[in-house]
Amino acid sequence: MLYRNIAKPLLFRMDAEKAHHLTVDGLGHASGIPGTLALLKGMYGVPDYPELRVELAGLSFRNPVGLAAGLDKNAVAVQGFSALGFGFMEVGTVTPRPQKGNDKPRLFRLPADEALVNRMGFNNVGMEQMAVHLHKAGRYPIPVAVNIGKNKDTPNEEAEDDYRKCVQALYPFGDFFVVNISSPNTPGLRNLQHGEELQRLVAAVKQEMERQQARTGGAPKPMFVKIAPDVTGEELEYMVETLVQGNVSGIIATNTTISREGLTHPNARETGGLSGRPLTTRATEVIRGVYRVTQGKLPIIGCGGIFSPQDAYDKIRAGAHLVEVYTALIYKGPGLIRELNEGLRELLRRDGFTQISQAVGADHH
């Protein structure tokens, strides 16, 4: 209510990127003020429901709803977002060296389509500064994934070095890692999703993760790969098979799309990745495809156009163990997380499930 009636109208009058920074940085600063986190928890937190707990890839998630990468790019508001009821979150995408990203404006709202177009271009403070932020955040109340990418001027032949460097610098701070090879906003990045390049990259990151684990001790940390929604059919099968052979811990399906089908808002003409409502069905189809190819053996995190409990549930029934939101949060505000979790409980009850894991991939059985 507070968001819809007061904050959103104000934020939507501002430039989209300014509003983004104001919100994330504001949440970061506010988290340092005594009492704020408790207040946020009281307003937006989600109770611990046993039926929504998820055990996946050696990690425990209080609930299946996470924050997608791209919102807290620099890990400045980990404690703040944790207080809003998320079951986990991603920070990043982070690159070895700081990057300004693409020229502004580079983030556009499409209110009529409940969508966003962004061509940010991995703008971030770089891995060393992110390590400082994550160290400062202290112990996280929820699992935090570090989403890693390559610098724009690093040629694809040397991409694996960039991913390795990010793992080296940030290994102690991530509960799991996400390899981003599917953003449409770094030239040539999506080529890393295919064939030999994908094999090489996955092997390099995996090797670095193992090296860091040997160095620091503790249980191995999971590594997920984030794929694009624009990969279909045989191409998707090959990609998924390569990832299975590379022993990744799981797949995040999906990133933003370059498709512009059925949009009405003039901002649809802007180049960049499209997220939000237009992605709802497509992302669910990709999840279904990944689940089918892997026979449900590879964990999937579903992302793309989740605005309602039904949207989240459809992705879970299609094969996702966890889901992530981003664009819907901009349109609906922080009350969304509780709404999704409460709604999921009702949908589970309606279908006679006592635990969310029973619903994963239910459409296939």
Q: How far does CA 180 lie from the centroid of its chain? A: 10
Give every strand in the sheet of 273-276, ordered side by side: 107-110, 115-118, 273-276
> What are the Cα distances from residue 211, in Å, to 94, 131, 207, 221, 340?
20, 19, 6, 11, 38
Instruction: Answer for the pair 363, 288: CB distance below 8 angstroms, yes or no.
Output: yes
> What are the Cα distances from residue 6, in Å, to 3, 306, 324?
6, 23, 25
SS3 at position 321: coil
Token code pair at residue 157: 């032949």
- State how far the Cα of 357 lies from the Cα of 322, in Å rounded to an integer: 10
Residue closest to 278 by CA, chosen among 107, 68, 110: 110
Active-site annotation holds for 60: no
Instruction: Answer for the pair 157, 198: CB distance below 8 angstroms, yes or no.
Output: no
Token code pair at residue 100: 């300004």
Can you tell me which residue has the tokens 């990133």?
Answer: 255
Contacts of 170 (CB under 8 A, 6+ apart): 94, 127, 130, 131, 134, 146, 148, 177
Preceding omega of 284 cis (within 30 degrees of 0):
no
Residue closest to 257 by CA, chosen among 228, 290, 286, 287: 228
- State how far the Cα of 212 lies from the Cα of 170, in Å rounded to an integer: 10
Instruction: Answer for the pair 255, 147: CB distance below 8 angstroms, yes or no.
Output: no
Catalytic residue selected from 31, 82, 183, 249: 183
- State how far the Cα of 332 lies from the Cα of 260, in Å rounded to an integer: 22
Q: What is the DSSP letter of 256?
A: -
Active site positions, annotated: 183
